[in-house]
């Protein structure tokens, strides 16, 4: 069965076409800079790899151009759009409404719309992708996979904020958590690799542009570091992670910033960007730190320190830990970050093997020392495969 996975952002559409259940990638690509200057489409299949600048004013035109490539006589991979039996959509926010992957109907679309205010940057773009795909693939089932759904198993003490009850009861203000598709995917990989009996207590550490950690008990999320929105918890590329909310009032009341500026500071100008005076990519930050840049070294030390703090918290709530999983761009590739997080943790039975940690690979692997009580794993995440898998399971 052919399943197209779409991740529709405000100015881009990432796509991958899968053969399921084999998980074979038939083609993949991205439409970038939709509605902006110099829009570009990338398309890659076994037949060719193409990059083309063309006029793409909106998501509909973008997806139509993708379909043109899919159907193309020379580089295409399908004869008719009806070969695609399902389209799996990444939807960032499912609120408390969606705890599972669902087939999209009018009611689901209405509910996704109601959640626009919770994810104003993401849900409208995800919704747009759904509407456009419905028009182009009228025979396919449209499926929504939510970033928040995996965390709906958190107990109330983990998701409720200690603010007046009415804010949860009437306004749905609570911890939702994000990156759920990734946390679920790598946790299940760890469980099938080690056996469920050896992986009952997992902490997954997703370190990419956005960063989050999840405490997982018997395959279920019981706590996670991102909260109501995507700015809590770990230090991220441009996001501050945890800060004392009184800083916001000080910035507004005493230093003259308006709320939009504060929002911009906390979402885009903080985190590694703020600490290094402008760098967000770990490859650059690590290179500068290596060359003796003290701000870059401190930024890395602070990022690792924050992860360690959450690791301690999650070991406490899980009453111990079987496995730590590193994933996403930084988690999969940054040898120094994994080392900094795991060193000096022998009290907890965590002991990293420095040589195994330094091996570069795209494989699922263990990097703990022989006598480490806790397994330390590196597992490449694949949110697109997970969306295809969940879509396939749902409609099959
Ligand atoms: P997202 O999907 O959220 O954009 P990714 O999971 O692709 O993020 O992670 C991107 C980040 O991974 C980059 O910004 C960079 O910091 C980091 N990264 C990628 N490759 C390496 C590497 N070889 N060493 C260290 N960090 C890396």
Q: Tens-digit pLDDT profile for the chain (396 aa)?
A: 999 999 998 888 999 999 999 999 999 999 999 988 999 999 999 989 999 999 999 999 999 999 999 999 999 999 999 999 999 999 999 999 999 999 999 999 999 999 998 888 889 999 999 999 999 999 999 999 999 999 999 999 999 999 999 999 999 999 999 999 999 999 999 999 999 999 999 999 999 989 999 999 999 999 999 999 989 999 999 999 999 999 999 999 999 999 999 999 999 999 999 999 999 999 999 999 999 999 999 999 999 999 999 999 999 999 999 999 999 999 999 999 999 999 999 999 999 999 999 999 999 999 999 999 999 999 999 999 999 999 999 998
Residue 51 lies in a domain: yes
**How many structural domains are present in the chain?**
2
Q: Are residues 80 and 228 in the same domain?
A: no
Q: Decide which of 107, 130, 146 is a domain's last residue.
A: 146
| Same domain flag for 62 and 129 | yes
**Is there a single domain that holds both residue 226 and residue 326?**
yes
Determine, yes or no, domain membership for 6. yes
**Closest ligand 1 atom to Cα of 210:** 3
Residue 160 within any structural domain of the chain: no
Same domain? For 134 and 260 the reply is no
Q: Which residue has the tokens 């967000």?
A: 280
The CA 71 to ligand 1 mean position distance, Å, reads 33
Structural domain including 20 reads 2-146
**Which residue, by CA, sits nearest to atom 14 of ligand 1?**
281
* CA 67–ligand 1 middle distance (angstroms): 29
166, part of any domain? no
Instruction: Say whether both 60 and 117 belong to one domain.
Output: yes
Residues flanking ligand 1, CB < 6 Å: 208-210, 281-283, 328-330, 333-334
Domain membership of residue 386 (yes or no) is no
CATH number of residue 330's parent domain: 3.30.420.40
Q: Is 147 a catalytic residue?
A: yes
Atom of ligand 1 nearest to the CA of 272: 16
Q: Is residue 168 part of a domain?
A: no
Gap between the Cα atoms of 142 and 4, Å rounded: 10
265 and 118 in a single domain? The answer is no
Q: Is residue 153 part of a domain?
A: no
Per-residue three-class SS string for the chain: CEEEEEEECCCCEEEEEEECCCCEEEEEEEEECCCCCCCEEEEEECCCEEEEECCCCCHHHHHHHHHHHHHCCCCCCCCCHHHEEEEEEEECCCCCCCCCCEECCHHHHHHHHHCHHHCCCCHHHHHHHHHHHHHHCCCCEEEEEECCHHHHHCCHHHHCCCCCCHHHHCCCCCCCCCCHHHHHHHHHHHHHHHCHHHCCEEEEEEECCCEEEEEEECCEEEEECCCCCCCCCCCCCCCCCCCCCHHHHHHHHCCCCCHHHHHHHHHHHCHHHHHHCCCCCHHHHHHHHHCCCHHHHHHHHHHHHHHHHHHHHHHHHHCCCCEEEEEHHHHHHCHHHHHHHHCCCHHHCCCECHHHHHCCCCCCEECECCCCCCEEEECCCCHHHHHHHHHHHHHC
Please check whether residue 57 lies inside any domain of the structure.
yes
> Which residue out of 147, 223, 322, 382 is catalytically annotated?
147
138 & 202 share domain: no
């Amino acid at each position: 069965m052919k399943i197209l996975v779409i991740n529709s952002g405000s100015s881009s559409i990432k796509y991958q076409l899968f053969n399921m259940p084999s998980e074979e990638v038939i083609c993949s690509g991205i439409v970038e800079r939709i509605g902006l200057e110099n829009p570009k489409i990338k398309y890659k299949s076994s037949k060719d790899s193409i990059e083309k600048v063309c006029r793409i004013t909106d998501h509909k035109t973008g997806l139509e151009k993708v379909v043109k490539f899919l159907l193309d006589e020379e580089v295409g991979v399908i004869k008719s759009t009806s070969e695609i039996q399902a389209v799996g959509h990444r939807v960032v926010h499912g609120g408390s409404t969606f705890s599972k992957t669902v087939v999209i109907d009018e009611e689901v679309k209405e509910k996704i719309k109601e959640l626009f205010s919770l994810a104003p940057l993401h849900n409208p773009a995800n919704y747009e992708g759904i509407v456009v795909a419905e028009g182009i693939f009228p025979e396919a089932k449209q499926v929504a996979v939510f970033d928040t759904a995996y965390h709906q198993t958190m107990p109330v003490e983990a998701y409720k904020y200690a603010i007046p009850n009415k804010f949860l009861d009437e306004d749905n203000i609570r911890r939702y958590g994000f990156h759920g598709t990734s946390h679920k995917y790598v946790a299940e990989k760890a469980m099938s690799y080690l056996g469920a009996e050896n992986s009952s207590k997992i902490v997954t550490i997703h370190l990419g542009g956005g960063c989050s950690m999840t405490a997982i008990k018997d395959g279920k999320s019981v706590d996670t570091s991102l909260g109501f929105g995507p700015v809590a918890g770990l230090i991220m590329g441009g996001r501050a992670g945890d800060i004392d909310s009184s800083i916001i009032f000080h910035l507004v009341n005493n230093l003259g910033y308006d709320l939009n500026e504060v929002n911009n500071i906390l979402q885009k100008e903080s985190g590694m960007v703020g600490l290094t005076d402008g760098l967000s990519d770990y490859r650059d930050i690590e290179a500068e730190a290596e060359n003796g840049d003290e701000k870059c070294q401190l930024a890395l030390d602070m990022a690792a320190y924050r992860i360690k703090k959450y690791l301690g918290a999650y070991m406490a709530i899980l009453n111990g830990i079987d496995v730590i999983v590193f994933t996403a761009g930084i988690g999969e590739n940054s040898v120094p970050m994994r080392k900094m997080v795991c060193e000096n943790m022998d009290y907890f039975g965590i002991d990293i093997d420095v040589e195994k940690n330094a091996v570069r690979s795209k494989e699922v692997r263990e990097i703990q020392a022989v006598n480490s009580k806790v397994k330390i794993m590196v597992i490449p995440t694949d949110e697109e495969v997970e969306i295809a898998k969940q879509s396939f399971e749902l409609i099959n």
